[in-house]
Structure 1
C-alpha cells in the first residue's frame, strides 16, 4: 500500500513537536506493510535555513520512508502539491485540519482526482485548542462544511476522547476511525533520588499558548514549598514568552524558574529522568509524545485533563486535573514535595512499571495498519 503523507515538519527536525514523533514512529513500526512518501518543509520550525545534507524539491530516503523536502516559499510547496497528481498513491494522509498548505489544498486536489484521504487533526478539535484564534477556526470549519470536504474522508482519532471532539466540531456525519498514536519505549539509564526538601519540576515543549506554560507559572505563585521549574523548548511565540517573563518576575523566593534552551530528541528522556515531576497543564493534546516520554523516564506527570492520559492518580502515576481548578495543581505539587525520598522512589518505580507495560503493547501498531486498510476499502 502506498501512502502519501503531508506534514509541516518531519525528521531530522524536532522543534515541530509531537507530529514529527507520531509519523516517525508510524514509519518505524508499519513500513513492512506500508510504503510511505512524505511531503514536508526543508527546515525545522522557526528556522530560516534548510537542513544540512538534504536536497530540496527532490525525493530522498530517510528512516524507512521517501521524503520530499519542499523549499521555502510558494514554489516549493507547489512542487509538493504536484506529487498528489503525479503519484500513484493509494491514500493521502494529512496531519492537520487547519493547515492551508499541508492539508486544505492537498485535500482539494484529492477531491478533484478522487484520491482516498485519511486526516489526523492531531488534537486541533479539543476545546482548549479551538479556543485559540477561535473566530478564524470557526470560519475555516464553516468553509469545510460548505464545500462538503468531509465526504470520503476518514478522520483519525487517537482516542475515544478525540473522537468525541471531532464529532462535536464537525458533526455526526463524519467517518472517524480510532487508531492510537504509536509510542516507543525509551527507558532511562538510571533514576536519581529526590533531593531533600526541594521538588524539581520540568516543562519540555514549544513555548506557545496551547502548551499553557503561563498557567503553570501562575499556579506556582501559590506554591509554598521550595521548588524549581526548568523550561526546555523553542520560544515559538515572543509575545507569549514576554507574558511568561512578567509572571516569573512576580514569583516568590521559594520558586526558581529558568529557561534551559532546546533539546534534541535523544536528549529528552535522559534530561527528563533527572527531575522529579513533569508539569505541563496543556490546553489540549491528541496524544502528547512528551507526556509519554516523561512516563518512560519514570517521571510522575502533572497535566490537564485535556489529553488522552486520564486516570493517572488512580493508577498512582501522576495527576490529570481540570484547568478551572488551579488550586488542585498547587495541591498536587505540595503533595509531591511532602513525600520522603523512599516514597518518591516507589512512586517513580510504579511509573516505570506502568510505562513498560503500556508501550510494549502492539495493539496501536495494528490499529494504524487497519486504519489504512479501512480507508482503502471504503466505498
Structure 2
C-alpha cells in the first residue's frame, strides 16, 4: 500500500484553484487496494466550515482555518507514516518546513510547480521567490518534479538541473454529465479576473466582432479576490463603458457545478487568451461539454488545432477577433464536427478513469514499489 500526503492551499469542494479539483479526481480514482491519500488543506474557498471530510476509507481530508502552526504540525504528523509527500506549490508558505521534515524522514518527495516558474508568475514578488528557490535548490537531488506540459518541464530542468527526476503528466478530470443544450451566440471566459488572463484583449476583440455579428455576446465567469485583481476588474468595467459594450459583455461572477457547465455547454466557444497558463483545467471543462476552445499560444494547447477541436492563437486583439469570426462563420455541420472533436479529445486523452494507471505506475516507480 502506497500512502500519499498532499499539503496544499485548497481542496474540493473548494473551487478556488485548479489543484482543488484535479487532485480530488486523482485521489478518487486511485485503486484503493494499492493506494491511499491524505490531504491537509486550508478552508480557502470553502462554503462550509467542516474541519474534515472522508471521501472513502483511503481518501481523507483535514481542513484548517489557516496555513499556520496547526497546518504544518498536522502535515508533518501525517508524512511520518506516508510514503510520498506531494506538493502542489513551491511558494505555498508551509511547503518549505514540511519539505525539510520530509527530507529528514527520508520520504519520497514530488513538487508540482503548476506554472509558478513561468516568467509572468515569477516576476511577482521576484526577490522573495528567488530566495525561496535558492533554498529548495540545496535539496533538489532529493526531489522529483512534476510538470503538466513539456514547456513547463524545460523550465523546471533549467531551474533545478540536479533534480532527482522530472516527469510530464497532464491534469486529468472526472468526466461530468454532458449537457445537450442549444448553443447561443455567446463566447465564454472562465477564470480569475486577473491581468494574466488578458480579459481586456477579449473585450477589445468582441467590440470588433459585433460590427459584423451584432447578436454576439461575451460572458465572463469568475471573480476578483486579491487587491490587484479587484483593481483590474474596475479597469475592465471602465473599458466596457468606454466601448459602449454594457449590453454585450456580461459578468456572471463565480459559478460552480452544473450552473457553470450549463453556461459553458451553451456557448459557441470558450476563450482562454492568457499571458501564461501551465495547463488550464477550464479547457477540460469546456471540452467535456463538447464546447470548442480558443486558447493562446502561451498555453499548452496546440492539440486543439491538431484534433480540430478549436484554435491555438497568438493572443492579440487582431488574432482573437479573426478566430472568433472563424467560429461564427462555420456552417452548421462543420461546427458540429468541431464540437464532437472537442468531446472526443477530452474523453480519449484526459479522462481520469482511463488514465489513472499513469499516476499509479509513476508512484510505484519512484517508491520502488513492486
Q: TM bucket by the smaller chain?
A: 0.7 to 0.9
Give yes or no for the alignment of 1:76 onto 2:65: no
When the two structures are aligned, how many residues end up with a matched partner?
360
Given candidates 157, 165, 178, the residue that maps to 2:155 is 165
Equivalent residue for 1:10?
Answer: 11
In structure 2, the residue matched to 1:44 is: 44
Residues 66-123 of structure 1: CA deviation (Å, up to 9, x unaligned): 11112236343243344256x311111111112112x222112212332221111112
Query: Structure 1 residues 172 and 364, CA, compared in 2 at 3 Å: closer, same or farther?
Result: farther
Q: Counterpart of 2:136 in 1: which secondary structure?
A: helix
Of 348, 357, 361, 1:357 maps to 348
Q: Which residue of 1 aligns with 2:367?
A: 376
Structure of greater relative contact order (alpha carbons < 8 Å, 6+ residues apart): 1
Structural mapping, 1:53-132, within 5 Å: 54=50, 56=51, 60-62=53-55, 65-72=59-66, 74-84=68-78, 87-101=80-94, 103-132=95-124
Q: Secondary structure at the match of 1:10?
A: coil
Deviation at 1:253, TM superposition (A): 4.6
Distance in 1 between the 2:253 and 2:160 partners?
Answer: 38
2:223 to 193, 216, 234: 234
Given the alignment, which residue of 211, 217, 220 partners 2:206?
Answer: 220
Structure 1's 123 and 363: CA in aligned 2 closer, same or farther, altered over 3 A? farther
Which moved further from structure 2: 257-266 or 167-176?
Answer: 167-176
Give the structure 1 partner of residue 193 of structure 2. 207
Match of 2:260 among 254, 257, 268: 268
Residues 139/78 of structure 1: CA separation in 2 closer, same or farther (3 Å cut): closer
TM-score by length of 1: 0.85
RMSD over aligned CA atoms reads 2.6
CA contact (8 A) 1:181 1:287 kept: yes
Contact 1:216 1:281 in 2 (8 A): yes
Deviations 1:331-356 (A, max 9, x none): 10122222344443333233233333
Q: CA deviation at 1:155?
A: 0.6
Q: 1:303 aligns with which of 287, 295, 307?
A: 295
Larger deviation, residues 151-160 vs 220-229: 220-229
Unpaired runs of at least 5, structure 1: none
What pairs up with 1:164-203 in 2 under 5 angstroms? 164-171=154-161, 173=163, 175-194=165-184, 199-203=185-189
Indicate conservation of the 8 Å contact 2:172/2:351, yes or no: no
Structure 1 counterpart SS, 2:141: coil
TM-score (norm 2): 0.87
Instruction: Give me the whole-angstrom Cα distance separating, in 2, the residues matched to 1:310 and 1:334.
Output: 20
Q: Aligned pair in 2 of structure 1 residues 77, 214: CA closer, same or farther (>3 Å)?
A: farther
Which sits farther off after the overlay, 333-342 or 269-278? 333-342
- Paired with 2:335 and 2:164, the residues of 1 have a C-alpha distance of 45
**Secondary structure at 1:142 match in 2:** helix
